[in-house]
Amino acid sequence: MLDYEFLLDDFFIALSGVPITLLVTLISLGVSIPVGFIFAIFRLDKSRFWNKIIGVYVSFVRGTPMIVQIFIVYSSIPVLLKSFFVLLQWDTDIYKLNPIWYAFIVFSLNSIAILSEIFRSALIAVHREQLEAAYSVGLSTFQAYREIIIPQLLVVAMPNLCNATTNLIKATSLGYAMSLQEITLRAKVAANANYNYVEAYIAIFLVYLLLCSLVEYGFKHYEKKLRFYKFGTA
């Protein structure tokens, strides 16, 4: 029998981890969106050296499990920083660093690879004649991308951006491996006392379902506003 009283209590405990989950998600997206867009532009120029480097990076991220990436970052960065601090003779205990900083790094690196492919496919879908037309009326490259290319690009990319964002939110559940006090870890720790793991997983399921549904609704609402730019009708 399910302990419904604990299930309700654990739901609110899991809910208390939402701010950390959202913070990691927003910071990761804030870093990965501009970097991913720049990487996408480099990927379109097949003659450049950077195209091959970025391609290897994207293949590594897409071809390895997220949990492996977390362990690599969480294990290697402290060792590298400790060696760096010893070299500079700084007396700093790197192992006391808040795990949220590792979460920012690993989820940003992962999202950069995912978003660069989303933006690359969206850029291909926008006709290059749009950029040439912008040059013909005297717009700079920055103005052309801001006023013409990016709005149309977002129309194409929005469904995939929504998927990437919801997947990122769900991926933060792996933050428990870094002792990150997010939704999953808080709910599981509360369940340890009486082994109410079934109730804990149901609570986690409900919180993520609610959170991702709200994010999906927000993206759909914004996507309707972007239809003005569809197929260059703006």
Residue type, 1: M
Q: What percent of the chain has pLDDT over 90?
A: 44
Window from 104-113, 195-204, 217-226 with minimum mean pLDDT: 217-226
Q: What is d(CA 190, CA 201) in angstroms, rounded to the nearest whole number?
A: 11
Q: What is the mean pLDDT of residues 168-191?
A: 90
Give which of 2, 13, 3, 8 is closest to 190, Cα–Cα: 13
CA 161 to chain centre: 10
Task: Report the alpha-carbon distance of residue 36 to residue 33 in Å, rounded.
Answer: 5
130-151 confidence digits (pLDDT tens):
777 777 787 887 788 887 788 8
Asked whether residue 97 carries a pLDDT value surpassing 60, the answer given is yes
What integer pLDDT is reported at residue 112 of this predicted model? 95
pLDDT exceeds cutoff 70 at 87: yes
What number is the average pLDDT over the span 31-39?
Answer: 94
Q: Do 147 and 138 meet the contact criterion of CB atoms below 8 Å apart?
A: no
Mean pLDDT of 38-63: 86
Whether the pLDDT of residue 186 is over 60: the answer is yes
Number of independent structural domains in the chain:
1
Q: Which residues are within 8 A (CB) of 219 and not within 5 positions of it... i.e. 6 or more apart?
A: 158, 161, 162, 165
d(CA 185, CA 133): 53
Question: Would you state the pLDDT for residue 230?
Answer: 59
In this prediction, residue 30 carries a pLDDT of 96
Other CB atoms within a 10 A radius of the CB of residue 22 amount to 15
Spatial separation of the C-alpha atoms in residues 147 and 132, rounded to whole Å = 13
Confidence band for 155, pLDDT divided at 50, 70 and 90: confident
Give the pLDDT band (50/70/90) at residue 234.
Answer: very low
pLDDT of residue 194: 83
- Mean pLDDT of the chain, nearest integer: 86
Judge residue 139's burial from the number of C-beta atoms within 10 Å of its C-beta, 0-12 exposed, 13-18 middle, 19 or more buried. Answer: middle
Decide if pLDDT at 192 tops 90.
no
CATH number of the domain to which 123 belongs:
1.10.3720.10
Q: What band does 170 get if pLDDT is binned at 50, 70 and 90?
A: very high
pLDDT tier at 223, thresholds 50, 70, 90: confident
Using N-to-C axis directions, what is the helix angle for 183-191 and 4-15, rounded to 10°?
A: 150
Domain range holding 100? Answer: 4-232
Q: Does residue 233 have a pLDDT over 60?
A: no
Indicate if the pLDDT at residue 231 is higher than 60.
Answer: no
